[in-house]
Amino acid sequence: MKKIFILLVAGLTACSQHYSSVVSLNDLTWIDLSHPYDSTTLYWPNNIKGFEHVKEAEGKTVLGYYYSSYRICTPEHGGTHLDAPIHFAENKLTVDQLPLSSLTGNAVVIDVSRKALGNRDYQVGIEDIESWEKENNRIPDNTIILFRTGYGQFYPNREKYFGTPKTGLEAIPDLHFPGILPETTQWLVEKRSIKALGLDTPSIDYGQSKDFKTHRILLGSNKPGFENLANLDQLPSKGIYVVALPMKIAKGSGAPLRIIATLISQ
């Protein structure tokens, strides 16, 4: 199994970036980019229910051994989660139909936190990517793009993270958090053939979006989105390998996501 994994990582990276062809499994350090699911998990303001974790059994059995079991209930879209293409694009892929190749691969982190923290309505522009490429070279095709806005530090404080403490439909007009310009998303899909997009905010569209065009462009291209990411500040700009595995919900438009990243020597 170790040899298979090493060959897999080497093979996936060799075509697009100049990484070392030998990676020791024991040397890999994984960084968790996921927030835990609990009573503080943040959902879109109009979600009727949040995360529920209900005890069904806990304690010593009549035979003397310990046993615990719980049931969970959660909307598809909340906490660190995946948006499947069907979420905003009719007849596109559902969560269970997404190939593993769309959920794993080389990644880069583009840090726009200086601009985003100074403007809650900031939208990532093409110039942000071009500026990153001037320092780090052209983004290879089939790369997972992660944008660091700096808003991950506010999670799970609803007011600081969403821009309003309100919940329900009345909160929607008051949402203020960064996202990605639709024109930028279109450019990434067409000019860089990206594999997926993710960021550390509640949505890939900024809070004041009314038409969710970034979602429609990305998901309409059968590419997934990752939202509410954590710990992007622990990653460098490049030399990253990501594994993003959602709960495999049949016909799901989204799902809770456990996304992790490791560093691969360049």
Spans in the chain with pLDDT lower than 50: 1-21
2-19, pLDDT tens digit by residue? 443 433 444 444 444 444
Task: Label residue 135 exposed, middle or buried (CB < 10 Å: 0-12, 13-18, 19+).
Answer: exposed
Domains detected in the chain: 2-48+76-263 (3.50.30.50)
d(CA 70, CA 114): 42
Alpha-carbon distance of 195 to 139, in angstroms, equals 11
Please give the Cα distance from 258 to 5 (Å, whole number). Answer: 19
* Euclidean distance between CA atoms 204 and 186, whole angstroms: 13
Residue at token pair 């699911």? 37
DSSP state at residue 88: T
The pLDDT value given to residue 25:
74
Q: Cβ(264)–Cβ(12) under 8 Å?
A: no
According to the model, what pLDDT value does residue 23 have?
59
Q: Which two tokens stand for residue 44?
A: 């879109």
| CA atoms of 258 and 82, how far apart (whole Å) | 9
pLDDT digits (tens, 9 = 90+) for 196-233: 999 999 999 999 999 999 999 999 999 999 999 999 99
pLDDT the model gives residue 163: 98
Residue 16, pLDDT score: 44
How far apart CA 158 and CA 44 sit, in angstroms, is 10
